[in-house]
Structure 1
Amino acid sequence: MLLTIGMASANPAARPAAIGVSVLSLLAWNPMRLTGVGLDYGLDEDFARTRLLWLWDLANPLRRVGPLTLSGHMELAMGQTAPSPADLTLGLTPLLEWRWTNLSWAPFIETGLGANYISLTENRQRSLSTHFQFGEVLGIAMEYRDLKVGLRYQHLSNADMVLPNNGYNFYGAVLSYRY
């Protein structure tokens, strides 16, 4: 890790490689006890959002209801919303997954409600009034072995705690790997 920091300060062109090596080192060491990582990409009218996801499984299964199994994970997300100026985002969301108990290949539904921080409260005539935002997630996904691919809708707003509250409505895709 110290070597990569030295590489980045000595040669700014080596910064992306140094960051990549540092991230891979942390994933291999896994001090946060992650159970997976992922990427999330979404669009909202004039905005695009990209996030890196860190995942922690909850006690699985949480519950069985007839042919359905409820499982889930915590998702820590960090990324940015573009275009310029970039809006940095940080969110923590517990996600619940409803699956058919005996079908590992079947699509499943995921839902969640979490807390988010956004760095800009005003962006291209979109006013969100507060840095704190709730984030509701609804998605459909499929998992094959340890790889998950899905489609998601996420609404970010402050629930009208402070007006104006224009919010974001992101439609996008998620890709994650569990280990």
Structure 2
Amino acid sequence: MSLAAVRPIRSSLLTAALLFAGAGQALADDWGMVVGAGDESAKKVGIIAGWDRERPLWQGEKWHLGLRHEVELGFWDVPHASDTVEFGYSPILRLIRPLGQHERLFTEGSVGVRLLSNTRMSSDTNLSTAFQFSDMLGVGYQWGPKQRHTVGTRYVHLSNAGIKKPNDGMNFGLMYYQYKFR
């Protein structure tokens, strides 16, 4: 991808980031950081803004199913594509098991969408399109009054789902921390 082609994408991502920061103040219940590593020696760091649906989608005796929304702004360092920016949204289903008044475990999964500023990660890896789907599976733990603290780990696969070839995709192993302000 030429530098001239990258500039409009970066401008769009910068605009999205500013909207993210402004809307996030009004919408987000919690903010967090995500770090991890992936294919092609990629490293990632990002900011997550999230909010939960007030009532569970399903309530069992010991478990319940919740819906969470997250917006993420990520920055990748890939040896052949440094300064790659990722912006995306994910609706997340969480199967939650309370452990007491102030603790709970959960497993989570999602199919979200992403926009990337670069598509060529190396001479062997080409994502072909700036638009990507983000499949995620994870586990986590929450503690404190109102479960204010959350830590977790996630496996994420990004792919354009065959919209355009090649469709090499990228995989990341991530760890994250979130703090609930409301």
Q: How many residue pairs were aligned?
A: 153
Please report the RMSD computed on the Cα atoms of aligned residues, expressed in angstroms: 2.0
Structure 1 residue 178: Cα displacement:
1.0
Q: Which residue of 2 aligns with 1:110?
A: 108
Q: Which residue of 2 aligns with 1:76?
A: 71
Alignment counterpart, residue 97 of structure 1, candidates 77, 82, 94: 94
Q: Secondary structure of the equivalent of 1:32?
A: helix
CA contact (8 A) 2:30 2:180 kept: yes
- What amino acid is aligned across from residue 142 of structure 2 in structure 1? E
Structure 1 pair 39–31 and aligned structure 2 pair: CA distance change class (3 A): closer
Q: Map residues 1-179 of structure 1 onto 2, 5 A cutoff.
A: 31-45=25-39, 46-83=41-78, 84-101=81-98, 103=100, 105-125=103-123, 126-145=125-144, 146-179=148-181
Structure 1 residue 116: Cα displacement:
0.4
- 61-70 vs 158-167, which deviates more? 61-70
Question: Under a length normalisation based on structure 2, what TM-score does the superposition of the two structures give?
Answer: 0.77
Structure 1 residue 123: Cα displacement:
1.8
Identity over the aligned pairs, expressed in percent?
26
Larger radius of gyration: 1
- Deviation digits for residues 42-91 of structure 1 (CA, Å, limit 9, x no counterpart): 21131011110011222322211343201131100002110352111001
- Provide the C-alpha distance between the structure 2 equivalents of 1:52 and 1:113, rounded to a whole number of angstroms: 18
- Provide the C-alpha distance between the structure 2 equivalents of 1:32 and 1:76, rounded to a whole number of angstroms: 13
| Structure number with higher relative contact order (C-alpha < 8 Å, ≥ 6 residues apart) | 2
- Provide the C-alpha distance between the structure 1 equivalents of 2:89 and 2:27, rounded to a whole number of angstroms: 16
Structure 1 residue 159: Cα displacement:
0.9
Structure 1 residue 106: Cα displacement:
3.9
